[in-house]
Amino acid sequence: MSDAETVERTMPESDVPTTSDAIDSPLLEVDGLRKQFGGVTAVDGASFKVAKGSFTGLIGPNGAGKSTTFNCITGIHEPTAGTVTFDGHDVTGLAPYTLAKRGLVRTFQIARELSEMTVLENVMLAPPGQLGESALRSVVPGLRERVQRDETEVVEAAWETLEFFEIDHLAHENAGNLSGGQRKLLEMARVLMTEPEMVLLDEPLAGVNPTLEEKLLDRIDELRQDGLTFLLVEHDMDVIMNHCEHIIVMHQGQVLAEGDADTIQSDERVLEAYLGGDV
């Protein structure tokens, strides 16, 4: 069965009024993405688009292939087939650091803080193109002064970001000592310091208490005002339905349905996938 057929079968255009084909200027476009591990196909021809400046949700039952899709988009895994286009350029299979430099970054499902580094160090790592990332410049007298000037600005920006996420009181704490929710905030803070255009969030709210959750979602809304694009994997349906203007549903490695909250909630196949399709 070819990829094209698969997509057509699972996503007939007439059934879905607001497919992502309607998106004129997608920032991210995934086309026929496939990933196999040995004999197991984790993603099986997924295609979707994410509009610039949107808050798009990616949902699906366990094992639907959401995390693998994320990993393929962000260069952690090389896709078996298919293409990923970001900002008009083919970025399929590029290394994570190249993608990050182009403005496509991600957070991890289980927060991966750099535990033996302080919160401030974690955040200060992220800004791109720091002069002092050259060993030579950091050592040679004269050049180091420029590194320091550059870094003074980084310190300032880092503190601002920590204040934005209200974890500035933990700045000198080792990241490993943070609570689960605080780690999620730190990871978000860190990823924003890379000056991204688009952020892929892999379950950023799992394990976060409701107050913190509200705070995080507020932050995301604020950042969207500044033109950032978010793609969110999340299990909490309320969050997805209330905050995302576009929702993509994955099932068994393929895109099952997409549209706004109302469309998705009234789609029978989605219900079926969640109720019976699992296992």
Partner 1 sequence: MSGFEDVRDRLEALPDAALVVSFLVGIWLLLTLLAFAVGGAQSANLAAGFVGSVTVLVGAYAILTLALNLQWGYTGLFNIGIAGFMAVGAYTTAILTAPVDPGAGGVPGFGLPLLVGLLGGMVMAAIVGAIAALPALRLRADYLAIVTVALSEIIRLFVNWGGVAEVEVFGKRFGTGGATGISFKSPDEVVATLVNGPGQPLVAAAESVGISGPNVVNMAYGLSLLAIAAGSYWVLSRVSDSPFGRVLKAIREDETVTQSLGKDTRLFKIKAFMIGCALMGLAGALFRGGAGYISPAQFRPVITFYVFAALIIGGSGSNTGSILGAATFSALLFYLPARLGEYFPTFGRSAPGNVFEAIAALGSLDPTPLVAYTVGNISTLRFVLIGAVLVYIIQNQPDGLLGHRNEPAASVDLRRPRSADGGETDE
Site residues for partner 1 per CB under 8 A: 74-76, 95-97, 100-101, 105-106, 108, 112, 114-118, 120-121, 124-126, 128, 130-135, 138-139, 144, 147-148, 151-152, 154-156, 159-160, 163, 168, 171-172, 174, 190-191, 194
Residue whose token pair is 């070819």: 2
Q: Which is nearer to partner 1, 87 or 260 (CB)?
A: 87
Tell me the β-bridge partners of 4: none
Q: How far is the CB of 119 from partner 1 (least distance, A)?
A: 10
Q: Which is nearer to partner 1, 133 or 278 (CB)?
A: 133
Decide whether 153 or 272 has the Cβ nearer to partner 1: 153
Strands 246-251 and 254-259: antiparallel
Residue 223 — left, alpha, or beta (φ > 0 → left; ψ -120 to 50 → alpha)? alpha
**Half-sphere exposure in the Cβ direction for 183 (13 Å, CA):** 20
CB of 98 to partner 1, least distance (A): 8
Q: Which residue has tokens 């995301």? A: 220
Smallest separation (angstroms) from partner 1 to the CB of 156: 5
Q: What is the DSSP letter of 170?
A: G
Tokens of residue 56, six digits: 């798009």
- Measured from the CB atom, the residue of 18 and 174 that comes closer to partner 1 is 174
Q: Please, which residue, 37 or 97, has the CB nearer to partner 1? A: 97
Q: Is 33 within 8 Å of 79 (Cβ atoms)?
A: yes
Who's near 126: CB < 8 A, 6+ residues apart?
190, 191, 192, 193, 194
Beta carbon of residue 141, minimum distance to partner 1 (angstroms, whole number) = 9
Q: Shortest approach of partner 1 to residue 262 CB, angstroms?
A: 34
